[in-house]
Amino acid sequence: GAVVSQHPSRVICKSGTSVKIECRSLDFQATTMFWYRQFPKKSLMLMATSNEGSKATYEQGVEKDKFLINHASLTLSTLTVTSAHPEDSSFYICSARDRQPPVETYEQYFGPGTRLTVT
C-alpha cells in the first residue's frame, strides 16, 4: 500500500523556538494532505487541510500564525510550530489522499506521527 513518512519521529525543543515537521507521500502524489494532533488517550483532532500550491485551510480554533503549513509539492507538506510552548507538546500526525487512487479505493494514508515535546 501507499506509504506516508514523517520526519522527525520525535523532537524535543525549548520553549520559544520553532519546530518543522515534514510529511511526505513516498509512492504517490497527494494534492491534499491533512494535519492532526493527538493528546494522550484522546482522539485525533484535525488541525488543517494542506492543499498543494495554495493556502492551507485551518479548522476552527487552530491558530494559523502559530501552525504554519506549506504544501510546496505533490509529495511534501510541512507543519511549523512557531514559538512553541509546553502546551504544544503533542503527537502530530499527517495523512494524505492519493491524487489518483486505484479503482474502488478511497483511502487516506496516515504517517507514523511525530512526538513533539516542548520543555
Partner 1 sequence: LAKTTQPISMDSYEGQEVNITCSHNNIATNDYITWYQQFPSQGPRFIIQGYKTKVTNEVASLFIPADRKSSTLSLPRVSLSDTAVYYCLVGDWFSGGYNKLIFGAGTRLAVHP
Amino acid code (one letter) for 115: R
State the Cα–Cα distance between residues 19 and 105, nearest whole angstrom: 34
From the CB of 82, what's the least distance to partner 1, in Å? 23
From the CB of 22, what's the least distance to partner 1, in Å? 14
Residues in the chain: 119
What angle (nearest 5°) sits at the alpha carbon of residue 61, between those of residues 116 and 80? 35
State the Cα–Cα distance between residues 45 and 109, nearest whole angstrom: 16
Q: Which is nearer to partner 1, 40 or 86 (CB)?
A: 40
From the CB of 29, what's the least distance to partner 1, in Å? 14
Residues in the site for partner 1, rule: CB under 8 A?
Answer: 1, 4, 6, 32, 34, 36, 43-46, 49, 51, 57, 91, 93, 95, 97, 106-113, 115
Q: Which is nearer to partner 1, 89 or 91 (CB)?
A: 91
